[in-house]
Amino acid sequence: MQPDFVLIALVAVLAPLLGRILAPWVRIPVVVFELVLGIIVGPAVLGWVHPDDFLHTLSQFGLAMLFFVAGTEMSIQSLGGRTGSRAIVGWIISIVAGVALGFIVAPGEAAIIIGIALASTALGTLLPILRDAGELDTAFGRTIGALGAVGEFGPLIAISIFLGSRSPGAATIVLLVYLLIAAGAVVWAFKAPQGRLHRFVAATLHTSGQFAVRVVLLILIALVTLSVVFGIDMLLGAFTAGLVWRMMMRDADHADHEAVESKIEAIAFGFLVPIFFVYTGVTFDLRSLLENPLLLAMVPVALLALFVVRGLPSILAAPAGSRPRERLSVALMGATGLPIIVAVTSIGTEHKLIPASAASVLVGAGMLSVLLFPIIAMALRGERVTTLSADDEV
């Protein structure tokens, strides 16, 4: 066992503990602690943990699991009607505005990376916050769910088309073929009788068989592999896998569904996802920001860009008759982004499309958005800050 891996495991344990300690004064999503502690133990500060292939591979598994869980939380119904159509229109405005701003800052493929990063919404971050505040089934909660679904799925499509190895035209054709196969899997999962599956899942819930968990891993690996074979970003495969599993379990007994969901979240948020975020902190280029005051000053500017590019168009999907405070809450929640920002900037740095310093500016802005925007948004809603759980995950 590598010493670096032990330290990452230790950091993953410390993160929720720190959240609990600070809970009486401020409720901060645990992902913020994971990122910050990763920065501290990484090369930028203490130098105890360094990037390597083993940790990178595990972090990629964590990223895939994060988007699988986001897929299980996505409601197709939320994309219908007035709210869904306006959420889609708002995202189109966001991606166009983001890419346009990107071309002003850095022309070429770097502009696409900036645009995708600025047009994202962290659905996985927002859903636990809404759940704790009792907002999931309100008009406000459904609006944020639609914004989050579009704000995660849309960027994944954009990444697959514009940042793959093929030309955009060829990538679009390949993507359509993949989406047809994925749609067939979703339709099958929705229409095919799943009674036998549900009974077998229930029979093995508390045995060493753990059939449900094994099926989840099979679906995840199969669709991620399919996306890789098609030359599409693996996150789209992971997201689709979560959607397929959601359809397969839609009619399962509520208690069994909750038990399976708990096991999946234990694997995701108890093991793989924390590794991804801690490792993201380890690889965060803090030194570049500290050594260059101009770059450091760009972090709040990028945070403002997130609000303008993603937040303001999100207001289109606000519930009819919303007050100005509620519209501002919708804008702040829509502008909360991090996982897509981390993913797309990682692609950019790996392919040398953007410098690590630029990625750090965008990721830093994403970290601040997760820390600040939901807290302000829920306070504007009239909810106390204490409605946010210290165990909220991204």
- Integer Cα distance of 59 and 46 in angstroms: 21
pLDDT by position in tens, the chain (length 394) = 577 889 999 999 999 899 889 878 777 778 878 888 999 999 988 899 998 888 888 988 888 898 888 888 776 666 678 888 899 999 999 999 999 999 998 887 889 999 999 999 988 778 767 776 778 778 888 889 889 889 988 888 888 787 765 566 666 787 788 778 877 887 877 777 777 888 888 888 888 888 888 999 999 999 889 888 887 778 888 888 988 888 888 778 888 888 888 898 889 888 998 998 899 889 887 888 888 888 899 999 999 999 999 999 999 999 888 889 999 999 999 999 988 898 888 888 888 888 888 888 999 999 899 888 988 988 888 744 433 333 444 4
- Residue 133: predicted pLDDT: 73
Annotation: CATH topology of 3-385: Na+/H+ antiporter like fold (1.20.1530)
Distance CA 116, CA 110 (A): 10
Domain ranges for the chain: 3-385
Selection from 163, 254, 255, 167 nearest residue 206 by Cα: 255
| pLDDT score at 38 | 92
- Per-residue pLDDT at 138: 85
Check residue 76 and give its pLDDT.
66
CA distance 259 to 275: 24
Q: What pLDDT score was predicted for residue 391? A: 43
Straight-line distance from the first to the last Cα atom of the chain, in angstroms, rounded to the nearest whole number: 27
Q: What tokens appear for 75 in the block?
A: 């409601």
Enumerate residues 6+ apart whose C-beta is below 8 A from 318.
143, 326, 327, 330
Residues ≥6 apart with Cβ < 8 Å to 388: 27, 28, 29, 129, 132, 133, 374, 375, 378
In this structure, how many other beta carbons lie within 10 angstroms of the beta carbon of residue 181?
A: 15
In which residue are the tokens 């068989």 written?
209
Give the distance from CA 180 to its chain's centroid: 24
Q: Which pTM value belongs to this model?
A: 0.82
Is residue 11 within 8 A of residue 38, CB to CB? The reply is yes
DSSP tag of 319 = P
